[in-house]
Structure formats: C-alpha cells, structure tokens
Structure 1
C-alpha cells in the first residue's frame, strides 16, 4: 500500500466526484469509497483479524471485513478482489455483492461496497496490515459485537452488523 496512491472521491449521492492522494484524503477526511469483504468458510464461520498498530485508521482493533480504498478509476469490485488478496491472501474467489452502505465519523467518511466470499484455503496475512486472525462462529462474532464493541472497528460494525445478525437469525 502506497501512502500517495490516488483514491477516488465520492459525493453524497454515491457518485465519483474526483480524486486525491490518499494522504490528502486522510488529512481532510474526504468522502471516498472502500471495499468491505467478509470472508466466510463453508461452515459459515467468519474470519476475524487484528489490524496492525501501524494502520492509519483504527490501529490495533479487530476487524471482520477485509478491504480498503477504491483507487481512482477502479471498479469497486476490482478493488475488493485486490484488497482481499493483499490483506488475507484470498484469491480466485467469486464475490457476492451485498450492496452499499455509507459511513462517517471523525476519522473517515466513505461509501462501502460490501461483498461476501466463501474461502476454505489458507489465510496469508499482509504483515503491514494484519497481525493476527482466527475463524469465529457467527454466534461468537455477535457476542463480541454485543459484549466487546470497543474492540472492533466501528465502521465494519456499522456497515455489517445488520447482515451478521441476519446470518444468526437475530
């Protein structure tokens, strides 16, 4: 991941309105787009991982979605495939689109392009982004969402909690 990669900027209606270097987008908290991919195995478990302490947003927190910024001129699905392979070493899978969701806080503002993939192969962490991970049941993930909300990145919780609870049936 290059600090000065050029990312697509998105308007409030979800349209591309320009581009900016990643460093400028972060410094000004400009609205952009990001892929958000939940990896599940054939047993229905979800891959939960810890972000490294060097990440520019939410360092050291747990995350159950892989993903990242959509580059200028990049299709969000292509970005999702790229990020999934970079972060977790997951490649050659079919993305199941689950729509978009918007997120904003003091650290980041973006349109999330959400996808789910099924993967039973090995997970290979990108050392700059992931420091640990494990497969957890949906029940365990929901328990963590309820009991340990401050340990999980807030944007993934915001854009995915409804879907995760639906997988559990709650």
Structure 2
C-alpha cells in the first residue's frame, strides 16, 4: 500500500475552521487552522486504532509535506476536529479519507490531553476492526501496513513517530489493552 503525490504545501487546509478549547476541553472560540497553528492554541483531534481481524494494528507513514510531524509514523491516524464537528464524526471521516476505512463501527476508548512545542490538543481515541481494502489518501499518507503490537512498540521507540499518537498509543497499551479490551476486540471481529 503506497500513495504518492507531488504536493508540497506545508500547511494543509489553512482556511478550515476549527474549535479552540481551553485546558478543560471547553470550546472558547473558532479560528482558522492557520491561526490555531500560529498560536499553538489548544484544539481537538480524533485518533483511530485500526485493527484487522488478526489483531494487527495499521500504522501509516505521513507524507513529507504534512504541516506537523512530516515523514513520521502514525499508529493512530485521525485528524483535527472541525468547528462544530464531533470527535466521532471526525474520526469516521478521517478514517475513510486517509485509509478508505468504512462500514465498520467505531468504538470510543478514552480522551487525553497532549502538548509539545508544536501542538496542544485534546484527543479522543477510538478503535475499529477492518479487513477491507486500505485506500491511502496520497495527499496525507505515504505508506502503511498492519503490524503486530510488539512491532509497533519497537517502531515508536526507534523511528520518528507522531508524538501525540505515540502518547495516545502508550496510554492505550498501559491503561486499556487488557483482557476486557481483548474480549471487546474479539467481539468486534478480531481474534
């Protein structure tokens, strides 16, 4: 699975309106994506763990012209939530746009706060089980593959990885990847 493009725009969707939130995840205003990035304002993002029925996780590599974390691996792809958009609607839209994932239920897992020098966000993590054809969005995704969780753990320690997704994945492994989650994963079609 590979997607290529000759696009070199370093900031995508600069005029898209997003909700700016406070440290308690309450909407305080809307701003363009470019304004949000310039101020490093707290915003909302969705993240999706895409498993296949063998329990492997899909990891994508971002294109080199992404506005944040270019050429980084991403174990929980998703995106910036638009103004007035719900986390779930965004997660569903992003999974379909970036990877072609459709027709499967999304299951909410947890919310988390993340910040570094590039971004500050409230994230909402979802998971799904998908065995369909992955269709990668060439404007955002360079490549991707399903990996076992031990390989993903190794990857995030030794390769450039989106730090917000890395934080979300680590929270998932430490706090949510337990027997109860494994049963839920099996009931959703994996295992």
Q: State whether TM-score is above 0.5.
A: yes
- Corresponding residue of 1:34: 45
Instruction: Determine whether 1:162 maps to 2:180.
Output: no
- Structure 2 CA distance for aligned equivalents of residues 70 and 159 of structure 1: 16
Highest CA radius of gyration, 1 or 2? Answer: 2
Check 1:168–1:133 CA distance in 2 against 1; reply closer, same or farther (3 A cut): farther
- Structure 2 CA distance for aligned equivalents of residues 22 and 28 of structure 1: 10
- Corresponding residue of 2:7: none
List gaps (5 residues or longer) in structure 1: none
Q: Deviations over 1:73-105 (max 9, x none)?
A: 111110111111111111122111011000001
Q: Deviations over 1:29-79 (max 9, x none)?
A: 110000011100111100011000010000001111111111111111101
TM score, norm. by length of structure 2: 0.83
List gaps (5 residues or longer) in structure 2: 1-11, 180-191
- Structure 2 CA distance for aligned equivalents of residues 3 and 65 of structure 1: 23
- Corresponding residue of 1:102: 113
- Corresponding residue of 2:182: none
CA contact (8 A) 1:103 1:110 kept: yes
Alignment of 1:67-106 (within 5 A): 67-106=78-117
